[in-house]
Structure 1
Amino acid sequence: MFERFSSGYYLGRLYVEPHGGHQAVMHREQHEQVNEQLYDEEYDGPLVMKIGTAHVPVHGADGVPGRTIALPETVLPATGVDNPPTLREVLLAKADRAAQLLGVDSDPSSGDGAAGF
């Protein structure tokens, strides 16, 4: 589903669609597979994907079609997805980059303000 892209990201293609929840979600089993295959055992946070200019933490959920990421309506504008559902290239942050992105968000004084967190 994902292949090496750079020192900080894997590249994949997923359908992006809106949903009414408060967090980004993908098919639970695929989420677990990606987590097991690409993240090390020391990292226990959510997957972090970059879609457009937004970095979003992605959780597993039931009821989401395979190869799909369902985003809250409020996040869609930052992704550049104008007519969902749309097949898009997405970047999956590697474990160390994901931890860094999540750490930036946990410090509101950092001023980085990663979109989607």
Structure 2
Amino acid sequence: MLLYSMFEAFSGSYYLGRLYVEPRNGTEPAMSRRQYETVHRQLYDVDGNDQPLVMKLDQRHFPVTGVESVPADTLAVPPEILSDSRVENPPSLREVLLATADRADQLLSLTGGGGRPEAASEQSAGLGSNDGRPTGI
């Protein structure tokens, strides 16, 4: 089943997508605001859920926000996340995983985010890891 043309069902906990991964100044990973809102509405808006999208690039999970300046079909990540990945010569088309709403809630609760976007933003550099290293979750 194809979801919003960029993600398809992958497992009980994740959707699989292909996005261009590129570096972004700042501390929060981001994607196109329009695509973020569409994906969030389709996959996370269950019972008023307002948690951020949670993606996984290689072995690292992180909450993602929607930003106007990020091009469509792109995941823009801070340098520390990019350096933890196997992305070479960005922008690079890569497979990324998008956690299901239930899995995202579980991952956010590990960092104390509890589904609150503002708390998740504070943890964006190392979701699921207190020392900033990949968790493999």
TM-score, with length taken from structure 1: 0.89
**CA offsets, 1:32-67, max 9 Å, x none?**
000011113332111000010110110000111000
The 1-side partners of 2:37 and 2:46 are apart by 12
Over the aligned positions, Cα root-mean-square deviation in angstroms equals 1.7
- Richer in strand (by share): 1
The 2-side partners of 1:79 and 1:8 are apart by 21
1:49 aligns with 2:49: no
The 1-side partners of 2:84 and 2:14 are apart by 19
The 2-side partners of 1:48 and 1:78 are apart by 17
**Number of positions where the alignment pairs a residue of Structure 1 with one of Structure 2:** 112
**Larger RCO (CA within 8 A; separation ≥ 6):** 1
The 1-side partners of 2:42 and 2:18 are apart by 17
The 2-side partners of 1:48 and 1:70 are apart by 13
1:21 is displaced (CA, Å) by 1.2
Structure 1 ranges of 4+ moved more than 4 A: none
Structure 2 residue aligned with 1:67: 73
Structure 1 residue aligned with 2:34: 29
Structure 2 residue aligned with 1:4: 9
Structure 2 residue aligned with 1:106: 112
Structure 2 unaligned segments of length 5 or more: list them: 1-5, 114-127
Q: Matched residue of 2:111: which SS?
A: helix
